Chain A
């Protein structure tokens, strides 16, 4: 599972290593560390946000270890839907059952429609919508887009996808 934690460190040297080493000892894969030295909490501690991948079974043990070493665990959350994409749909969105369109994505279990804006200028004119889809990872996001492409084709909707943003290096 992917976990995001906010830790509070004392403002003395060596605290970041103290916080990070137990994560690697439990075979966690650290994905990002945001260390804001200038933004102290009212308690005078320094907040650090860490995102990492770890076996769910060792999570509680890890938290205990961190607390014992003097690192305060202020927040623990699961980062389930990490990848996100925006899409525009144009056509008879409502009449072609938008509930069903969303359900096709939500029912996958790995992707969800998390935002939807709809513009319906007049009854006899086509509608436009802006959707945000989140998924557990990039691979799943691609699958969700494939599903939406199929649905759009069947319902005669124009689907506008974003350009590829990653460098796409070989």
Chain B
């Protein structure tokens, strides 16, 4: 049995999803010869540390009742640097102004010889090459499947399953919120403001929807793709971004009459990075509705491969994080 010790830095929807999936998958890990132990959890109010393994059920209940997991004062950085463990799960919220606190957390993890698995887009959209180099210099692994497309395994697919292929172009819908808004506007002929309100009530859009509807979230994901797959040293500022706020129900109706839908499409290839509303033929594989995400990858050997799945959600995102944890467990 191989023991892998983890810390979960950031205990919001994603962090809790990870804890819940570790609990529910205990048997699976044991069958695969892996014993996962969480030795530290931190959220914005404090932390819990136990070198022998935190009782996750207990931690989740405490979070639910008190709004924090805290029963101790160690900071995230103290846990990362001073508690002995193997993998840091960095699941703090995305911040695209300076990438903090995720950026410092990740660098501290690498510099203290720990692997990083993350769902946090901010640091990767701003400083991808710096992070990759820090991981390489310290001989540790850096995995970020959960940053793009939620449960949809884009990086694993390209780096592992499609190894040997050259990727020519990637197009996709990488933001479920805007996809939901555009789908509902088309179906119900409702205007943008009304559907946004509906999405906010359902918890699909945030109170401040700017990141999603202005295409910022999509652009961050495209930057991570550009760095990871095209090895471009791109940052968020290199993306040509147009959001969906100006789209009218009439435009969607006109497109619909001519067998098109309008989708917020991310496109990377030929050195250009574009996020913009585009016309997509209704029968095209990219024309998926609701909150779904989709990525269509054009390669030189395999041709076009398209994957569709859930782009958000606590457990769905945890699925990508777990797969990265298992990758490290098997390859380190």
Please give the residue numbers on chain A whose beta carbons come within 8 Å of chain B beta carbons, in ascending order: 86-88, 90-91, 117, 119, 121, 125-130, 158, 160-165, 167-170
Contact = CB atoms under 8 A, between A and B. Distances in A.
Interface of B: 166, 168-169, 171, 242, 246-248, 250-251, 253-255, 257-258, 260, 262, 265, 267, 269, 276-281, 284, 286, 298, 300, 303-304
A121 B250 contact: yes
Given A130-B251, A160-B255, 10 more contacts: A88-B262, A90-B251, A128-B251, A160-B262, A161-B276, A163-B171, A163-B286, A164-B171, A167-B298, A169-B168
Contact of B277 (A121, A126, A158): A158
The 4 closest A-B pairs by CB, nearest first: A119-B250, A128-B251, A130-B254, A128-B250
A86 B298 contact: no
Contacts of B171: 163-164
Given A160-B278, A161-B278, A126 B246 contact: yes
Contacts of B260: 86, 162
Chain B CB within 10 A, most for which of A86, A88, A168 = A88
B279 A86 contact: yes
A59 B210 CA distance: 60
B304 A163 contact: no
Given A160-B278, A162-B278, A163-B286, A90 B258 contact: no
Pick the most buried of B242, B251, B280, B298: most chain A CB atoms within 10 A of its CB: B251
A65 to B, nearest CB: 42
Contact of B251 (A88, A161, A163, A167): A88
Contacts of B247: 90, 158, 160
Nearest to A169: B168
A170 B255 contact: no
A170 B279 CA distance: 24
Nearest to A118: B254
A160 B281 contact: no
Contacts of A163: 171, 265, 267, 278-280, 284, 286
A170 B168 contact: yes
Given A162-B278, A168-B169, A88 B254 contact: yes
Contact of A86 (B166, B242, B258, B286): B258
Contact of B257 (A117, A121, A169): A117
A167 B298 CA distance: 8
A101 to B, nearest CB: 16
B285 to A, nearest CB: 11
Contacts of A161: 276, 278-279
Among the interface residues B168, B250, B269, B280, which one has the most CB atoms of the partner chain A within 10 A? B250
B1 to A, nearest CB: 48
Contacts of A168: 168-169, 269, 298
A126 B248 contact: yes
B279 A165 contact: no
Nearest to B277: A160
A161 B277 CA distance: 8
B304 A167 contact: yes
B246 A117 contact: no
B105 to A, nearest CB: 37
Contacts of B242: 158
B183 to A, nearest CB: 16
A23 to B, nearest CB: 33
Contacts of B277: 158, 160
Contact of B279 (A88, A117, A125, A169): A88
